[in-house]
Chain A
Amino acid sequence: MKNKNLSRIILWAGIVLLIGLLIAGCAQKPEPVVEPPGPTPEELEQARQDSIQAAEEAMLAAQQAAAKKAAMEAEQALLAAEQAAKSSLQVIFFDFDRYNLRSDARTAADFDAGVLSKYGDWQVLIEGHCDERGTDEYNLALGERRANTVKDFFINYGLDAPRFTTVSYGEERPATMGHGEDAWSQNRRAVLVIR
């Protein structure tokens, strides 16, 4: 009997212990609060450096963008100026069956030479043309003489010969259609093509 009681006590004790353990297991034991360690002086310095670098980069990017924009604008302005210079090139006109430069043609050629001297990288094709009168063959030769006259003028002006090539179209590519001196005088010409 005594033995039976003992075992009953042990049983109950075991139950109580078990319950106690269960309760202890269920109850949230609060974590101990660990204060984070403060930034080290090195880290602070690094952050400072980083922020300076970021600021500097931003400033640089802004400067670069501004510079790029300015450069583009400048380039566009240059291109526009170059285009304007190209457009300003004058056509050089000739008399019938002639390839010498008359006075107005000399003025035009002189102006063109001035423009060409500013743009030393331009490669120049000089086209020689004739009016529709006369034979195709003689006109093809005459157009070439006109182109060569202009080329020689530029070389004498001091421009580099290798910049220039010539082509003659004779009477094949008139600037103006028509069969009268008005049209003819417009068609006897040398034209500069920049490439």
Chain B
Amino acid sequence: MRRGWFLPITTALGFGFLYGPILSLVIFSFNENRLVTVWSGFSLKWYGELFRDPQMLSAAWLSLQIAAVSATIALVLGTLCAVALVRFKKFRGRTALAGMSSAPLVMPDVITGLSLLLLFVAMESLLGWPRGRGSLTITIAHATFCLAYVCVVVQSRLVDLDLSLEEAAMDLGATPVRVFFDITLPIIAPALISGWLLAFTLSLDDLVIASFVSGPGSSTLPMVIFSKIRLGVSPDVNALATIIIGVVSLGVIAATLLQMRRPATKQGRG
């Protein structure tokens, strides 16, 4: 293949486009000036401001809790769903389950949020549950749409799985539940971890669905950030973004290094 100038330059520009705004956000989080785009000197004061903001801190804590719980629910139900779809070829309602588990992926957030809110309101007036809206309803909503993502991730791993291992275990007299916990689960563990992380991130990131189904007094972090951004620039949001980007970068870099090392260790063993 001819090595021209076109590809390297487009790629460099593309990455510049992806990272330019993020870098400027990080740089200006250390800016002393209130104007986010005028540099006047190095300062950590916005970080101090961020950690003294009770609204921001409680919203962050609420978001982390909701993300952890809803990702765990989504992991359990999504894995069951994937097992049902991949392993049980024929059962009544299989098409319906397949449709219901993939439809949330293409559903716009506004529809998901509105429909769940209307459901919760109707349930409250019919059954008296859930009483009001808040972290519980947000958790249910997040678990529902994250379930679909977990299901896709686990499904693709299950499809590739070598069936002979499970068959061997069955032949040796293991019951299906034991086979699942002893054989299947350890093999699909990487998919479960990435599914959970994906669900956790999606929940932590969601603004639209949470805005519909939350109630007074339960604002998640994206909701607080959104209202701050709408009012104009706020340098403490820059500080928060820098922290999040730092944590995520460390995680992604660690995961990439692990992935790059794994094939090497395999070769070493073989």
Q: Do A and B bind each other?
A: no
Question: Which B residues contact A (CB, under 8 angstroms)?
Answer: none
